[in-house]
Chain A
Amino acid sequence: MTEKISRRDFLKISGIGLTSATVITGCGPSSRYVTRQAYANMPEYNQTGVSTYYATTCKECPAGCGLIVRTQEGRAIKVEGNPEHPVNKGKVCSRGLTTVQGVYNPDRITGPQKRTRGSRTTTAMEWQGAINTVAEELKNPQKTAFLLGLQSDHLYDLVREITEKGGFGKPVRYGTLGTLEGRSTLLRATQELYGFDQIPFFDMGNADVVFSFGAHFLETWLSPLAYSRGFRQLRKQPFGKRGYIVSFEARQSLSSANADEWIPIKPGSEGQVALAIGKIAATKAGVPAPAIFAEVNLNEVSQISGISMEKLLQLGELFGSDNKAIALPGGSALTTRNGLDAAKAILALNVLVENMSQPGGVFPTFGENHTSDFAAVKALIAKMNAGEVDTLFIHGTNPVFELPASAGFQAALKKVKTVISFSTFEDETAIESDYVFPDHAALESFGYQRVLLGSDRETYSSIQPVVAPIHDTRATADVLLAAILATGGNLASDIQYTDEVDYLQKTITPLIEKAGSYSAGELPTFWSKWLQFGGWWKTTSELNSSEIEINLNQKLSFSAPQSAKVGETFHLVTFPTQMGDGSGANRPWLQETPDPMTTVTWNSWIEIHPKTAELLGIHDDDIVEVKSSTSDFSVEAIVYLYPAIRPDTVAIPFGQGHTALGRFAEGRGCNPAIVWSASVNQAGDLALSDTTVTIKPTGKRRPLARQESKEGVYGEH
């Protein structure tokens, strides 16, 4: 025999025979020819067939939940919650669970690349070349800008230090989840009314009555798992007491669906409703109504909000009764032209019922919040348009997808000489970039997340790699530090970190002195415990009952809320789903997990009230053109007849409608951000809830894949 036939080849040749063999012996042939890794080929602490668990932090949203990831033979298998972690106490949401599908996604960018803008043509690079490129761009601080996402605080902190010491402009930090919940507005209102510098913690678990003004506390609001726990606690109070939730919003969200009462109010009228409730509650409690509430005209509020006078009185009295009440300011109330005043009105309700720093009330949290408002993004776009930005670094956010089309980010991007993206995926922004220097995926990287919301104590959540990077990627912090070293000069002598881990260790060193849940004498011990426990936090709850002087003797002025013309234009509600800021759309299991309200999978839709649809002659699964009333932008969306929405309102979920981001995300549904109005509210946040749209049938039809019906789509997809 001249050429030895390998066993494998032989098996291939006798494929048919093999099938019979399989039937006869009852076992698949593949089992027999597995190659098994010697354990020295695997990461340390691994034994074949035995799982190793590592603590890290979820990077799917900014909440910073602690994770325990099960790994086996160097592969991340399953994400579980960290039971010790003060934010999520061992629980995980759908998004966190599918993190592994992000790590092992077949559409990841496998190494540094130079790109042709607007196309998918790429040229592979070496990392040294990438670092040289970054170093070259860093030499011109005045004309270099950083645009960062909400996740991984360590990178933001490092970039902030670099920009401060190197004379760059302040980095802009933007993410859709922050926009949808009006985070900057909430922060501004808290500063102006409560006088503290953080987004507060709302202790809904210990309250009796919760008035939620569009807060999606079960889905994405601030810290969804912490507030889901609060929801459980509210319902399961001692002695069988069961808290009562009233939710005000135009479209019933999952949180409203779990409320005891859903009040479909007109979008944009939340602030005035809060004032009216305050006035009635004050009367009920027998106290003089503070100036902030006193001047509101109840009849007018009833008229603009669509709540009957009787209902309004009933709700106001409920809020003002002896129960512990709390009011939550959610996104749909804050992202309107009256957003800041609405936030203040809602926050003032908490002052009225004296729940500040009381169990079941509102508490200050820990540390400062660094979220840029939309105005900062607008300013950046203006600078880009004026040719004042030569280099733009983008990390952790996908502005081409997430920003309203009328903001003109994409056009402004064309005026920037060099766009460098650090994206893990070929997303819409990476396609418009000159270079992509991919960061590690979530479970491959180091870092920390400062927990600002959802924790009752000061918490730093540590991020550590649970698996070795599977592609030729590099941590963005490492790339920046290496580039600074290559640049030399003052910046290199000011930024004295050798690499990312060195930066992290130096940053957490002050925590050693603080009394936390563990103690360590010196940094190496502290570092190993920091990684082992998944972060550092205080042992006991620290929600302090500090006295805060709050002045309610101020006046708020509301302009008339954006109104829709009956039968012509409709309010557009954009709500977040499990896709989060859209980055979840490439996780097949997030796509296939049905939406809780509609049970639709793998697509997005527009929710229209059945009566409205009847008037417009629209049916389920029809495709309609949704056009902004204020601009020329439009999207096509598939109709879902949704019984729990105001007839003058339509709603589109956020997160789908990708033109890039890989095989699981592309070409599904529509992106509502395209039709968002780009106007800002008083706090500089995007007033996206003021968007009104027109609906026009296109005559096309495409059935949605709903779990609730099995009618089938034979021949229609």
Chain B
Amino acid sequence: MKSSIPLWQRSSVRIVGALVLLIIMGGAVGGIYYTQIPPEQPIPFPHNFHIGVGAQCSYCHTGAATGPNAGLPTTDKCWGCHQQIEPRNDNLKLVASYGAEGKQIPWVPVAIQPDFVVFSHQPHINAELTCETCHGDLTQMTVAEPQKGQNMGWCLDCHQKMSTPEEFVLLSDCATCHY
């Protein structure tokens, strides 16, 4: 017998449709979630501790004042201090092993921009911005965490607040960041 129920009213179709929708939404939520949590690092580097003992940001992230990227430290830099420090726990042992083998620690960068955004640290440092303005209060973090809500509106908001209307013409120009 020919069914008279339209296709979209059939319960099987509806269940399958709902499932597909759920999977898509689940995937979307998962995808968003995973872009908002700190990525797993080879060593859970305690920023708070290092700042506590007096290390300056630019001691390890040397490039910020002179170029587009702040850069990640080499193992040599870690080893400069850590060869004096007893490897008391697993993480310190890990540092020691990288240092002894002369291998680079495969740090995962956290604060990065999408491909179509061109960002340079140098002009921001020249404008006397501090690191925590964008990267958050690292004294409260172990591993670096991605900052929430850092979208284009956030960039422009700051550009507007920090500049005169004439300067804002330059700072809101598309070609400042997109090319």
Contacts and interface: CB of A to CB of B under 8 A. Distances in A.
A16 B24 contact: yes
A566 to B, nearest CB: 59
A34 B109 CA distance: 8
B35 A21 contact: yes
A36 B62 CA distance: 15
Contacts of A34: 109, 112
Interface in A25-70: 25-36, 38-41, 47-50
Contact of A14 (B27, B106, B108): B27
Interface residues of A, number: 32
A39 B32 contact: no
Given A38-B73, A38-B74, A20 B24 contact: yes
Given A17-B25, A24-B32, A48-B63, A41 B104 contact: yes
Nearest to B27: A17
A714 interface: no
B59 to A, nearest CB: 14
A32 B28 CA distance: 16
A619 B169 CA distance: 58
Given A10-B34, A21-B32, A49-B69, A40 B114 contact: no
A22 B112 CA distance: 16
Given A49-B63, A50-B67, A10 B30 contact: yes
Contacts of A21: 27-28, 30-32, 35
Given A36-B107, A38-B105, A20 B68 contact: no
A39 B114 contact: no
Interface in A74-117: none
Nearest to B28: A20
Contacts of A30: 115
B68 A50 contact: yes
Interface in A2-19: 7, 10-11, 14-18
Interface size class of B (residues with CB under 8 A): 35 or more
Contacts of A26: 114, 151
Contacts of A7: 34, 39-40
B74 A40 contact: yes
Nearest to B26: A17
A49 B27 contact: no
B66 interface: yes
Nearest to B67: A50
A657 B29 CA distance: 54
Interface string A484-526: 0000000000000000000000000000000000000000000
Contacts of A14: 23, 26-27, 30-31
Interface string A137-155: 0000000000000000000
Nearest to B62: A47
Nearest to A38: B104
A31 B115 contact: yes
Contact of A20 (B31, B34, B35, B72): B31
B24 A17 contact: yes
B145 interface: no
Contact of B108 (A16, A35, A50): A35
Contact of B106 (A10, A20, A35): A35
Nearest to A30: B115
Contacts of A35: 106, 108
A17 B23 contact: yes
A20 to B, nearest CB: 4
Contacts of B26: 14, 17
Given A10-B34, A31-B115, A34-B109, A39 B71 contact: yes
Contact of B75 (A11, A38, A48): A38
Given A7-B40, A39-B74, A50-B63, A29 B69 contact: no
Nearest to A27: B114
B122 to A, nearest CB: 10
A667 B162 CA distance: 60
Q: A-side binding surface: helix, strand, loop or mixed?
A: helix
Contacts of A36: 72, 107, 109
A22 B31 CA distance: 8
A35 B110 CA distance: 10
Given A38-B73, A47-B71, A32 B27 contact: no
Interface string A292-334: 0000000000000000000000000000000000000000000
B55 to A, nearest CB: 18
B30 A49 contact: no
Nearest to B106: A35
Contact of B107 (A10, A15, A28, A38): A38
A401 B171 CA distance: 56
Interface in B31-67: 31-32, 34-35, 39-40, 62-63, 66-67
Contacts of A31: 112-115
Contact of B72 (A24, A29, A38): A38
A226 B107 CA distance: 49
B31 A29 contact: yes
A180 B106 CA distance: 53
B74 A18 contact: no
Q: Point out which of B26, B28, B68 has the most chain A C-beta atoms below 10 A from its C-beta.
A: B28
A630 to B, nearest CB: 58
B153 to A, nearest CB: 11
Interface in B4-31: 23-31
Contact of A48 (B32, B71, B104): B71
A38 B79 CA distance: 14
Contacts of A24: 28, 32
A22 B24 CA distance: 12
A47 B63 CA distance: 7
Contacts of A39: 71-72, 74
A47 B28 contact: no
A158 to B, nearest CB: 36
A11 B62 CA distance: 33
A33 B110 CA distance: 9
A449 to B, nearest CB: 34
Contact of A25 (B35, B68, B72, B115): B35
Nearest to A35: B106
Contact of B31 (A17, A33, A47, A49): A17
A88 to B, nearest CB: 29
B114 A28 contact: yes
A40 B76 contact: yes
A50 B74 contact: no
A18 B26 CA distance: 10
B112 A32 contact: yes
Contacts of B63: 47-50
B60 to A, nearest CB: 11
A32 B35 contact: yes
Interface of B: 23-32, 34-35, 39-40, 62-63, 66-69, 71-76, 104-109, 112-115, 120, 151
7 contacts: A17-B28, A20-B27, A27-B35, A47-B69, A47-B71, A50-B66, A50-B67
Given A17-B30, A30-B115, A49-B120, 13 more contacts: A11-B34, A21-B35, A25-B35, A29-B31, A29-B35, A31-B114, A32-B35, A33-B108, A36-B109, A48-B69, A50-B66, A50-B67, A50-B68
Nearest 8 Cβ contacts at the A-B interface: A17-B27, A21-B31, A49-B69, A14-B27, A40-B74, A49-B68, A27-B114, A20-B28
